[in-house]
Amino acid sequence: MSKRLLLLASLLLLLIVPQGKVLAQTDPNLFKLPDTVCTGHEIAPFDIIEGAANYNWTFCPPNLGGLPNGNNMGAQQSMNATNGIVLAEDEGVTYSFHINTNGGVVRMRFLNGYEGAPSQVTQIGSTLNNPRGIYAAQDGGKWNLFIVAGTDSANSRLMHYTFTNGLKAMPTEVNLGNMGGALNGPKHLFLAKDQNGWYGFSFTKSDEMLRLSFGNALSNVPTVSNMGNIDGHFSGVSGITGIVELNNWHLFITNRTASTVNHITFGNALSNTPYVDNLGDLASRVVAPVGIAITRDCDAYYGYVLNYGTSSIITLKWDAQSIANPPAVTNHGNTSGFTQARALSGIARDSGSVYMLSVNGDNSISRVFFNPCTDASIPSSGQRLPPTFKLMEPGVYTIFLTINEGLPNVTTDCEQIVVYDHPPITLTNDLLLCQGDTTRLSVLSFSADSFKWSPNYNIDTLYGQFVNVHPTITTTYYVTAYYDVNCIVKNPIEVKVSKIVADAGPDRIISDGSRTVLGGPGTTLGTQYTYEWFPEIGFTRPTNLPVSEAQPPYDITYYLRVRNTDGCSDIDTVQVTVPCDDIHLPNAFTPGSGNESTNRFGIWNLQLVKINYFKIFDRWGKEVFTTTDKAGRWDGKVDGKDAPLGVYVWEIDANCANTQQRFRKSGTVTLLR
C-alpha cells in the first residue's frame, strides 16, 4: 500500500467517533501544507491565519501525553514562600512573575529561554499584604499584571501593573482597592476575554467564587459580584485555569482540602450562570493539589495537575477532543524534584518545547517540560511566517501551529504530511582547497530534471552536473536538484580554503653593492607556515624568514616559497636589477677603527668582473697602494707603517660583468685617525 493510501486510511480512522462523546472542532484551518514531499525538501506553510496574539510552530512536536522531563533549578533568593507564578514572553524574551508571602512581587528574566536559569531578578511595585493570586494578560498592545492580596475585607485589594514599554521596563502600579468590599482574603486569579469583554475570576478565603467584570478594556476598574460556593463544590481552592472550545467557556479548579478537580461551564459567555461538575479525585490520583494548567494539542486537550500530597504531577487527557468529556488520567510521579509544591504556572512554548514551572516549599523552582523530536531541520518558530523547514527522514509527520498560547482561546491546528525518500544523489564530499587553486564539484542523480548551484561566487557556471570553483575564503556551495514541485533538494558542499600567500615584494633597481630588503606585506604569517628564499646568493640575513635581506652581485630573480601544515604552498618572485653604470667608493675611511665597513678603503661595486688596476697616490704623487683584485682593500699603511692622515687620490680601470663596459675613473678619499 502506498504512503498516500496509508495516510488516507489513518485519516478515515480519525472520523470514527465513539458514541456518547462530544466532538470538538478538529481542523480550525489555521494553515495549510503540501500533502507529500521528499526528504530534504524545503517546506513552507501557506494560508496562515492572521491576527493571533502569538504563534507557536512545532515542526517535530513533543508528546504531551507522555512522561514529562523535569529538574529542580535550586533555591532562588528572590523566593519566600511563593504563592503564585505566571509565565510570559515579550519581544522574544521569556519572563516569570511570582508573589511571595512576605508581600514581594518579583520579575525574573530568562535570557536563554526557560531551559536556562533566570539571569535577571527585579523587585517591582510596593510590598503587598498576603498576595495570593497573580495573572498576566495583554490588552491594547500592553502587558497587564493583576494581583489579589489581603487577609480580610478591610485590607484586601486588587493591584494593577501596566507595562507600557514592554515587560523589560518597570510598570505603572495602581491600587484598585476593594471594589464594593467583595474581596475578602482573595486567592488565585484568572482573566479571559469573550465577545462581551474582559472578565476575571477569583475566590475568597471562604471559597466563594468572585467574578470581576472589566468591560471592553483591562484599564477599566472592574465591578465584582460574589457567586458564592456553588453547590458547595469548592473546598480549599488552590488553582484555576480556563479554556474556550467551540465558543463555549470552561474553567477548571483544584481543591486542596477536598483533593478534587471541578469543571465549571459557562456556555457561550463568561457572564452566564455557570454549572459546576465535580470530577472528584480522579481515581485517587489527585492528592492535595496546588495548581492546574491546560492546553490543546492536535488530537486532544491536555491538563496537568500538581499534587502537594504526593509531590507528583498527573496528566489529564481528553481523548475525544472535547473538554466536556471525562479525561483519562496518568500519574507520572515526581518528575522534577518537587518539594512541598506550592503553585504551578500556566503553559508556555519556547523553541519547540512546552514548559511549566512550579514553586516549592524550600523556595526552589521545579521545571516541567516536553521536548520536541529531532527529525526536522529546525524544531520550532515563534513567527507568523516561519522559515522553511525540512524533514530528514521518511514517514508521516504532524506539524503543529498553536495560536494564543497562554490564553483561554488557545487553538492548535495540525496538518499531516507524508515524507518519502528523495532519489539517490551523489555529491562531491567536503574538501580542502589551497588558496589560489581551482577544484571541480560534481553532483549525480539520474532522476533529477536539472541542477542549480549557488552562491555565484568564483564559480564558472551555475548550472549542470559539474562546476569549477576557486574561492579565496572558506565557502559553502549549494547544489539544488529539481525532481518535481514538491521534491526540490538543496545539498551543501563546504570548500575549506587553506589560506596561503607568498609575497616576495615588488621588483626593484638598486645601485651596485647596495643591500635590499626582500618580502612584502601580503605574505601569510603564522607558526603553521615555513618560509624559504632561493637561490642563496648574496643574502645577508637568514633565508627561512618571511622577510630577508640581500646584497646581490648582479641582476637576479629571488624566489619566496611558503608552505603550511595543510600541505599547501605558494611561491612568488622579485626581480632585483643591479645596473653597472658607475664606480662606487667611500669618500673617507678610518684605519684601525674596528668597523669592517670603514677601517679599509676599496671598491663597493660587485658588478666589476675585471680590475685592470686600482691605484692610490699621496698628495705628492707617490703610489701607496695598487691591486687588480676587485676585493682588494687598502688598510691605510705604507711599507708596513701607518700613513699620515690627509687626502689621497685614487684611480680605477675596470670592466662590468653584464656589459663588459670599461670604466676609468679617479677621485679622492680622506684618511682619518
pLDDT single digits (tens) 380-409: 898 999 999 999 999 888 898 989 877 878
Alpha-carbon span 364 to 98, nearest angstrom = 12
**387 occurs within a structural domain:** yes
Q: What pLDDT score was predicted for residue 18?
A: 29
pTM: 0.64
Say yes or no: 221 and 234 in one domain.
no
Contacts of 412 (CB under 8 A, 6+ apart): 28, 295, 296, 297, 298, 400, 401, 402, 403
- 183-198 per-position pLDDT tens digit: 999 999 999 999 999 9
Q: Is the pLDDT of residue 10 over 70?
A: no
Say yes or no: 601 and 562 in one domain.
no
The total domain count for the chain is 6
Looking at 554, 577, 600, which one is the last position of a domain?
577
Beta bridge partners of 355: 348, 369
Say yes or no: 595 and 647 in one domain.
yes
25-39, 330-344, 463-477, range with the lowest pLDDT? 25-39
**102 occurs within a structural domain:** no
Say yes or no: 517 and 600 in one domain.
no
**368 occurs within a structural domain:** no
Q: What pLDDT score was predicted for residue 138?
A: 92
Tell me the three state secondary structure of residue 9. Answer: helix
Q: What's the whole-number mean pLDDT along residues 450-461?
A: 97
Q: Is the pLDDT of residue 17 over 60?
A: no
Query: What share of the chain has pLDDT > 90, as a percent?
Result: 75
Q: What pLDDT score was predicted for residue 596?
A: 77
Q: Is the pLDDT of residue 6 over 60?
A: no
Residue whose C-alpha is closest to residue 588's, from 605, 601, 576 = 601
Q: Provide the pLDDT confidence category of residue 352 given band limits of 50, 70 and 90.
A: confident
What are the CA-CA distances from residue 589 to residues 93, 602, 671 (Å)? Answer: 80, 10, 5
Q: What's the whole-number mean pLDDT along residues 367-382?
A: 89
**270 occurs within a structural domain:** yes
**119 occurs within a structural domain:** no
- 61-97 per-position pLDDT tens digit: 888 999 999 999 999 989 999 999 999 999 889 999 9
Alpha-carbon span 201 to 135, nearest angstrom = 10
Q: Is the pLDDT of residue 610 over 60?
A: yes
Alpha-carbon span 104 to 519, nearest angstrom = 70
Q: What pLDDT score was predicted for residue 74?
A: 94
Q: Provide the pLDDT confidence category of residue 225 given band limits of 50, 70 and 90.
A: very high
Beta bridge partners of 193: 198
Q: Is the pLDDT of residue 650 over 80?
A: yes
Say yes or no: 52 and 128 in one domain.
no
Q: What is the CATH number of the domain that holds 622?
A: 2.60.40
Q: What is the CATH number of the domain that holds 261?
A: 2.40.128
Q: What's the whole-number mean pLDDT along residues 638-646?
A: 92
- 574-598 per-position pLDDT tens digit: 999 988 777 878 899 999 887 877 8
Looking at 577, 599, 633, which one is the last position of a domain?
577
User: What is the gyration radius of the CA atoms in the chain, in angstroms?
Assistant: 44
Say yes or no: 561 and 571 in one domain.
yes
Q: What is the mean pLDDT of the chain?
A: 90
Looking at 210, 228, 246, which one is the last position of a domain?
228
Residue whose C-alpha is closest to residue 654's, from 621, 626, 601, 613 = 613
Contacts of 332 (CB under 8 A, 6+ apart): 67, 68, 312, 313, 314, 315
Say yes or no: 235 and 221 in one domain.
no
Alpha-carbon span 136 to 418, nearest angstrom = 39
Say yes or no: 302 and 248 in one domain.
yes
**10 occurs within a structural domain:** no
Query: Is residue 580 within 8 Å of 607, Cβ to Cβ?
Result: yes
Domain span holding position 635: 588-671
Cα 270 from chain centre: 43
Q: What pLDDT score was predicted for residue 286?
A: 97
Say yes or no: 182 and 157 in one domain.
yes
Say yes or no: 137 and 178 in one domain.
yes
Q: Provide the pLDDT confidence category of residue 630 given band limits of 50, 70 and 90.
A: confident
The letter for the amino acid at 65 is G
Say yes or no: 462 and 519 in one domain.
no
Say yes or no: 594 and 662 in one domain.
yes
Q: What pLDDT score was predicted for residue 119?
A: 84
Q: What's the whole-number mean pLDDT along residues 643-652?
A: 94
Q: Is the pLDDT of residue 427 over 80?
A: yes
Q: What's the whole-number mean pLDDT along residues 512-536?
A: 93
DSSP assignment, residue 585?
-
Q: What pLDDT score was predicted for residue 137?
A: 94
Query: Is residue 375 within 8 Å of 62, Cβ to Cβ?
Result: no
Q: What pLDDT score was predicted for residue 529?
A: 96
Cα 433 from chain centre: 28
- 18-37 per-position pLDDT tens digit: 222 333 344 578 999 999 99
Alpha-carbon span 672 to 141, nearest angstrom = 94
Q: Provide the pLDDT confidence category of residue 321 given band limits of 50, 70 and 90.
A: low
**372 occurs within a structural domain:** no
Q: What is the CATH number of the domain that holds 444?
A: 2.60.40.10
Query: What share of the chain has pLDDT > 70, as a percent?
Result: 96
18-27, 156-165, 271-280, range with the lowest pLDDT? 18-27
DSSP assignment, residue 118?
-
**397 occurs within a structural domain:** yes
- 304-314 per-position pLDDT tens digit: 999 999 999 99
Q: Decide: residue 306, CB within 10 A, 0-12 exposed, 13-18 middle, 19+ buried.
A: buried
